[in-house]
């Protein structure tokens, strides 16, 4: 069995990247032996179609399960069509996520967890008319602001059991913490420029 995890770096000790199609790296792990291969995601800066292209790449590597923070509708449908199980709401370290999977802590996702184009940076509009963003945090800075993309507002996906829902909510909390840190970092950068 092979499991693909969206990651911020090519290592078992990397954090889970909350994006699937535009994540920095993928770590593909054989959970029985913890043998892994890692590679950079060539679609991280794609203008469009990142989710589909990334899903096709992952499916082409013989992956059976994807663990990620979020998965949009195009990537989700592509993975589903290829027979790949998708699990969203995953956060923390890659190594810990594999252990959680082996312990049965995650439930298969029954639908995409975000809308199309999540993570492209069309978020909060903090740019003071400065145009294209710098790619702080979750997004690539393609919007009007400085590139901190926020997930669309909407209902929190319900998991199959209270334990699964707790894990899902913890993953979403971790993602929001990372977004808040990126926003706070950007505020500090702007304060330094104003001095």
Q: What is the pLDDT along the chain (195 residues), one digit of tens a residue?
A: 999 999 999 999 999 999 898 999 999 999 999 999 999 998 888 777 888 889 999 999 999 999 999 888 888 888 988 999 999 999 999 999 999 999 999 888 777 666 555 554 543 333 333 333 333 344 433 333 333 343 333 334 444 567 656 665 665 666 566 667 767 777 887 888 777
Between CA 18 and CA 25, with CA 21 as vertex, the angle to 5 degrees is 70
Q: How far apart are CA 158 and CA 85, in angstroms?
A: 17
Sign of CA dihedral 30, 119, 15, 172: negative
Assess contact for 186 and 139: CB atoms under 8 A. Answer: no
Q: Which residue has the tokens 């993570």?
A: 119
Q: Which residue has the tokens 């770590």?
A: 27
Q: How far apart are CA 135 and CA 142, in angstroms?
A: 8
Residue 129: how many CB atoms within 10 A of its CB?
7
SS3 at position 29: strand
CA 27 → CA 63, 101, 129, distances in Å? Answer: 11, 14, 38
Q: pTM, whole model, 2 decimals?
A: 0.59
Select from 94, 46, 105 the least CA-distant residue to 72: 46
Q: How far apart are CA 175 and CA 150, in angstroms?
A: 10
DSSP code of residue 135: -
Q: How far apart are CA 34 and CA 9, in angstroms?
A: 17
């Amino acid at each position: 069995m092979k499991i693909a995890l969206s990651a911020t770096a090519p290592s078992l000790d990397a954090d889970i990247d909350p994006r699937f199609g535009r994540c920095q790296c993928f770590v593909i792990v054989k959970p029985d032996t913890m043998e892994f291969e890692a590679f950079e995601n060539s679609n991280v800066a794609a203008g469009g179609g990142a989710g589909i292209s990334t899903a096709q790449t992952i499916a082409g590597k013989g992956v059976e399960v994807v663990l990620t923070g979020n998965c949009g509708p195009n990537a989700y449908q592509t993975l589903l069509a290829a027979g790949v199980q998708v699990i969203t709401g995953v956060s923390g370290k890659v190594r810990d996520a594999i252990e959680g999977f082996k312990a049965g802590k995650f439930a298969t996702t029954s639908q995409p967890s975000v809308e199309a184009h999540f993570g492209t940076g069309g978020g909060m509009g903090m740019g003071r008319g400065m145009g294209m963003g710098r790619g702080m945090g979750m997004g690539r800075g393609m919007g009007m602001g400085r590139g901190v993309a926020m997930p669309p507002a909407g209902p929190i996906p319900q998991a199959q059991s209270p334990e699964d829902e707790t894990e899902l909510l913890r993953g979403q909390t971790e993602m929001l913490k990372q977004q808040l840190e990126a926003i706070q970092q950007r505020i500090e950068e702007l304060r330094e420029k104003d001095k």
